[in-house]
Amino acid sequence: MSTQQLPVVVIGAGPTGLAAAAHLVERGIEPLVLEAGPAAASAVREWSHVRLFSTWGEVVDPAAEKLLAPTGWMRPDPAAYPSGGDWADLYLQPLADVLGDRVRAGATVTGVSRAGRDRIVDADREQQPFVVHITYADGREERAFARAVIDASGTWVTPSPVGGSGLPALGEKAAADRIAYRVPDLKDPAVRARYAGKRTAVIGSGASAFTALAYLADLAKSDGGEGTKGVWILRRGISGSTFGGGEADQLPARGALGLAAKAAVDEGHADAVTGFRTEAIERDANDRLVLAGEDGRRLDPVDEVIVLTGFRPDLSFLDELRLGLDERLQAPVELAPLIDPNQHSCGTVYPHGHRELSHPEQGVYLVGMKSYGRAPTFLAMTGYEQVRSVAAAIAGDLASADRVELTLPETGVCGGAGLFDAPDAQEADGGGCCAPAPQLVQLGAPATVGAASEQAPAGGCCGS
């Protein structure tokens, strides 16, 4: 079999990987989508309880919609905000179903290389197919060959740690039973009991942190939730931009998240601790956790810690490939300047495609959430445009691959996990980039800020 007849392996059956498969099918190229979890959209299902800040109109890929149309699939109201669970059940699973046995669940990719060529061998490298090692849920191992590899495996499984220097804080692992790295589902009675009446530190400054603070505030106001208190720990100071783009955000529901967090602080459900970079987590005599800062500060004890400091890509299984990655963001070198939170603090990214996503190793692409490396503010529609262009490039249609067919919304949640902020400078300049002083507004969905978390669009990708 010639290399051209081999399938394109797509790693991950999330929104981006499934969209990539749809675009490949549209071009008559066979995809093989390998998904580590038990079903398509496994990562999205883990945040089923979180409402997106994007509407249905912004999270359905056009090629996927075409593929679904003959099955009688109807896109939900384009103006409505799905939850992660809705996104998985009403769109991503039907899409996986229509792709049929091109999608394999319980299939973890553990390694990708050129067949017979490790990373250092030049000879005929580009002529060799890719070899992909797979481990199935039952422990069986297999290898598959591919003409190209699209890595859409996201970053969900590799959250960043508490430590202000990017390393786990001292004692972080030992305190694992009290630390969560995702926005908790407070509708789940067991999870609710864990946080009700407790003092919880929320570490992070992006949409996920806003969401968690709003959820805890709702819990404090609910029956049985009396005494629930959040301690919001920021590595930077509070400024005009702390709460995101507010009403200036072109995605209103995303802007509203910051305003819900502001309400939590203003109403006294959370205390903000600024300029705090955690060095250690210790247990006190009462088995509560004490966070110690790099500046020597020790905070009052808390019962629980929720860490929402962003995600980072797992590059371990790509070690035999010649990737061109930016040394700061771990994103493709051409893409990195477009998304660098040190420069683009408001998340304005122009649409991009195969050229920005290519590597010295031809035929391999990191797309979707993973393409952003450690940068925040990834949007699903960015990923859809990426895979449209990449599929066109693999098909040899460079005219289409080079065309930009998308306009992305501007502004948003400013700043990023990788930034170092001198709190004084932030406060003095009023926060710099995009945000007017946030004001309390009605959230995009029909809910007041007080009832934020039950109804309101929420999120978690941005600047966490």
Ligand X SMILES: Cc1cc2nc3c(=O)[nH]c(=O)nc-3n(C[C@H](O)[C@H](O)[C@H](O)COP(=O)(O)OP(=O)(O)OC[C@H]3O[C@@H](n4cnc5c(N)ncnc54)[C@H](O)[C@@H]3O)c2cc1C
Residues that bind ligand X (CB under 6 A): 11-17, 34-37, 41-44, 47, 50, 52-54, 59, 108-109, 152-154, 156-157, 317, 368-369, 378-380, 383, 459-461
Query: Is the CB of 32 or the CB of 98 nearer to ligand X?
Result: 32
Query: Is the CB of 159 or the CB of 197 nearer to ligand X?
Result: 159
**E strand or H helix at 199:** strand 199-203
Query: Is the CB of 204 or the CB of 460 nearer to ligand X?
Result: 460
Query: Is the CB of 54 or the CB of 160 nearer to ligand X?
Result: 54
Q: How far is the CB of 26 from ligand X (least distance, A)?
A: 18
For 148, the 3-state DSSP assignment is: strand
Length of the chain: 464
- The whole-angstrom separation of Cα 239 and Cα 425 is 10
CA max distance for the chain: 69
**CA distances (Å), origin 448, targets 26, 435, 443, 454:** 43, 21, 6, 10
Query: Is the CB of 110 or the CB of 165 nearer to ligand X?
Result: 110
Query: Is the CB of 377 or the CB of 426 nearer to ligand X?
Result: 377
Q: How far is the CB of 433 from ligand X (least distance, A)?
A: 20
Query: Is the CB of 72 or the CB of 139 nearer to ligand X?
Result: 139
Q: How far is the CB of 188 from ligand X (least distance, A)?
A: 16
Q: How far is the CB of 152 from ligand X (least distance, A)?
A: 5
- The whole-angstrom separation of Cα 222 and Cα 228 is 10
Where do runs of H (alpha helix) occur along 303-443? 336-339, 354-357, 380-394, 398-402, 423-428
DSSP class of residue 159 equals B
Q: Residue number with the shortest CB distance to ligand X?
A: 14
Instruction: Give the residue among 210, 216, 377 at the shortest CA–CA distance from 308.
Output: 210
Q: How far is the CB of 211 from ligand X (least distance, A)?
A: 7
- The whole-angstrom separation of Cα 405 and Cα 84 is 26
Q: How far is the CB of 365 from ligand X (least distance, A)?
A: 12
Q: How far is the CB of 224 from ligand X (least distance, A)?
A: 26
CA of residue 440 relative to chain centroid, distance = 26
